[in-house]
Chain A
Amino acid sequence: MTHVTAQTGAEDSLAPVLPSSPAQEERAARFIEVRGLEKTFAGDGAPVQALRGLDLVVPEGSFLGVMGQSGSGKSTFLAVLGGLSHPSAGEVRVDGIDLYGLPGERLADFRREYLGFVFQSFNLVPYLTALENVLLPLAVKRMPAAEKRARAIEVLGRVGLADRSRHLPGKLSGGEQERVAIARALVNDPPLLLADEPTGALDSETTTEVMELFAELHREGNTIVMVTHNLEIRRYFDRTVVLKDGRLEGGPPAGEAG
């Protein structure tokens, strides 16, 4: 993986300087580091404790499956991991960066440069074409327009949708929409892919198609965290953790590769 050293411009300031190779290996082994993570939702009635103290270390290049029943806190965990939702306690480090220690808008910059999100139920922007949806993460990035386009067309080709670039999401099948969403997550060449139930709305054939795509990305060295309650796709993960009532249950203990 060359993400860290390939970063340029604004990204540089996000990543601590890498002095030596052993340090780099240490960072790769502890690519994602979660400590004492808690999340409580205040809500109207009684507060909901969605996460009750999670500890987890994920090495670079993993394909981690986060499983568990509905309401067990999977999406909440992914949101906190992805810098979308401040935890009530604990900390999250990705590539050595303390996410919730970042000042102000830098968390948004972190998401843009480090993360690719693939959401439950596609979540494409309905009034933008497939190509425009893929371009979206680059819209707020300083980069020549031609380069952005070339990059977006490349990833669309990568997910096998080069000929659908001008279609609006409504004109695409579920599997195609999902693949556009994956292309969008990949366009920035992020070090970490986060997927929430990406196959939730797909039939089993399309599910296999999409999972093969993720498996290929994994083989290429991408780090992926995928939330699902679909046991059938468990075989694609190289490690799995199970959430129950906001706690980790079973799976390999924290810090150990799967």
Chain B
Amino acid sequence: MRLHHVALGNLRRRWSRAAFLVATLVIGVATVVTLLTMSRALTVQAQNELETYGANIVVAPRTDDLSLSYGGVALGGVRLQARELREADLSRISTIPNSRNVAIVAPELLGAVEAKGRQTLLLGVRPGDEFELKKWWRLDGRPPAAGDELVAGSSAARRLALRNGDTVALDGRDFRVTGVLEPTGSQDDELLITGLATAQRLLGKPGKITLVQVAALCSDCPVEEIAVQLGDVLPGTTVTAMQQVTKNRMHALDVFRTFSYVIAAVIIAVEALVVFVTMMGSVNARTREIGIFRALGFRRSHVTMLVLLEAALASVAAGILGYLVGMGASYLALPLFAEGLHVTVVWTPLLAAGAVLLAVVVGSLGSLYPALHASRLDPTVALRAV
């Protein structure tokens, strides 16, 4: 028989109070674990994306008009089509010093067409290049091949009631729908996508393109340098390294993480208070018992230790449980934040250890005063009749 046997006996045979304490701590630990796991998973996902997609660079005509933007890049008023690039100029891209880092060159022509009586954005692309560059596109169907075929973004498909295999007239000319994109969460969802040449003909802009997406597939390309080189060979353009976009998302994630820490801190503080109140109640309900301990020769420090031991034992259980619950919650909650992106929850022993440590620290901190209070109780209550 040692002190921890007494503590265990109390936790086991008066389990309802212990269960409340454990449940309280589980909620807090689980929340913290979930927040940390999710921000970690989203960060890892963003980093993976950076590496997989490399650095995408967008080359667009320079403009002062910021009325429309696409893909994070401001475009001169699309309908006015003030400026365009010439498709023929694309060949110059292969002359830049870093040309071996250039994996894909995907020209795009953007314009407005009328479909089913509505103005709709039409994007002309080279399907092979475009679909390789936009690896995140999930297509239900196949890319457009021959002249009069198109693929619809998810929102456009919904708006125009288009399904795979339908036929739709664009500016009076019939197109067959060969596929529908799954939602991407970007402006791509609004587009009808067809072959570049078809779009040029339909929009009356032969040989013209609106912008060029360039993929430099390598994990640490000199993106800024490539961008400068592209600007040199394609005068009159704005060259934007799209890595910026992912970096912006990383920044948003940093904000999310900071926010998580603040929430976690608040939860921990509330938690410690609940532990404090619970333990104080427990101690006050046990004054007679504590009097007996003291009369039997427990020192004040033994009583303090006993209360802290009980809190610590409950906390360890809560830490383990909280970690498991938190990981489970991460699996459930992550899809809500990842929006179709492929994100995986990572199990780390460090976080498990951290969860247990957190529970023990919070449990012990909240119990510190109740434990000291218990040790100062008047032992003569043990002598009084009930």
A positions within 8 Å CB-CB of B: 75-76, 78-79, 82, 84-85, 105, 108-113, 115, 117, 119-121, 123, 125-128, 132, 135-140, 145, 148-149, 152, 168, 184, 188, 196-197, 200
**Known contacts A125-B9, A128-B9, A145-B1, then 14 further A-B pairs from the complex at CB < 8 Å, ordered by chain A residue:** A79-B380, A79-B383, A109-B297, A111-B296, A119-B292, A125-B292, A126-B289, A127-B10, A128-B6, A136-B292, A139-B5, A140-B3, A148-B1, A184-B296
Residues of chain B in range 90-114 having any CB-CB distance to chain A below 8 Å: none
Q: Which of A113, A123, A127, A135 contacts B288 (CB 8 A)?
A: A123
Stretch at the interface among B186-194, B238-246, B298-306: B298-306
Residues of chain B in range 1-19 having any CB-CB distance to chain A below 8 Å: 1-3, 5-6, 9-10, 12-14
Residue numbers in B under 8 Å from A127 (CB-CB): 9-10, 12-14
B385 within 8 A of A: yes
Separation of A123 and B299 alpha carbons in the complex (Å): 19
> Are B382's CB and A108's CB within 8 A?
no
Which residue on A lies nearest to B12, using beta carbons? A127
> Are A84's CB and B383's CB within 8 A?
yes
Residue numbers in B under 8 Å from A196 (CB-CB): 383
Shortest A191–chain B CB gap in Å is 13
Show 6 A/B contacts (Cβ-Cβ < 8 Å), sorted by A. Answer: A105-B300, A108-B302, A112-B298, A125-B289, A137-B297, A139-B2
> Are B380's CB and A84's CB within 8 A?
yes
Q: Which of B6, B12, B299 contacts A136 (CB 8 A)?
A: B6
> Are B299's CB and A119's CB within 8 A?
no
Residue numbers in B under 8 Å from A120 (CB-CB): 383-385
Residue numbers in B under 8 Å from A140 (CB-CB): 3, 297-299, 302
> Are A84's CB and B379's CB within 8 A?
yes
B175 within 8 A of A: no
Shortest B349–chain A CB gap in Å is 33
> Are B294's CB and A132's CB within 8 A?
no
Separation of A138 and B298 alpha carbons in the complex (Å): 9
> Are A136's CB and B14's CB within 8 A?
no
Shortest B307–chain A CB gap in Å is 14
Pairs of residues from A and B, 6 with the lowest C-beta to C-beta distance, nearest first? A112-B297, A135-B1, A127-B13, A108-B299, A105-B299, A111-B297
Residue numbers in A under 8 Å from B256 (CB-CB): none
B293 within 8 A of A: yes
> Are B9's CB and A132's CB within 8 A?
yes
Q: Which of A78, A117, A126, A168 contacts B296 (CB 8 A)?
A: A117
B266 within 8 A of A: no
> Are B289's CB and A197's CB within 8 A?
no
> Are A139's CB and B300's CB within 8 A?
no
Residues of chain B in range 144-194 having any CB-CB distance to chain A below 8 Å: none
> Are A85's CB and B293's CB within 8 A?
no
Residues of chain B in range 33-51 having any CB-CB distance to chain A below 8 Å: none
Shortest B308–chain A CB gap in Å is 14
Which residue on A lies nearest to B6, using beta carbons? A139
Shortest A38–chain B CB gap in Å is 16
Shortest B369–chain A CB gap in Å is 20
B295 within 8 A of A: yes
Residue numbers in B under 8 Å from A117 (CB-CB): 295-296, 382
Shortest A156–chain B CB gap in Å is 13
B386 within 8 A of A: yes
Shortest B1–chain A CB gap in Å is 4
Q: Which of A113, A126, A135, A149 contacts B297 (CB 8 A)?
A: A113
> Are A108's CB and B297's CB within 8 A?
yes
Residue numbers in B under 8 Å from A113 (CB-CB): 297
Residue numbers in B under 8 Å from A109 (CB-CB): 297, 299
> Are A138's CB and B1's CB within 8 A?
yes
Separation of A180 and B172 alpha carbons in the complex (Å): 100
> Are A123's CB and B292's CB within 8 A?
yes
Shortest A88–chain B CB gap in Å is 14
Residue numbers in B under 8 Å from A200 (CB-CB): 385
Which residue on A lies nearest to B298, using beta carbons? A140
Separation of A139 and B2 alpha carbons in the complex (Å): 4
Residue numbers in A under 8 Å from B385 (CB-CB): 120-121, 197, 200
> Are A136's CB and B296's CB within 8 A?
yes
Shortest A150–chain B CB gap in Å is 12
> Are B295's CB and A82's CB within 8 A?
yes
> Are B380's CB and A139's CB within 8 A?
no
Residue numbers in A under 8 Å from B293 (CB-CB): 136
> Are A123's CB and B382's CB within 8 A?
yes
> Are A137's CB and B382's CB within 8 A?
no
> Are A105's CB and B301's CB within 8 A?
yes
Central interface residue in A108, A115, A135, A145, by most chain B CB within 10 Å: A108
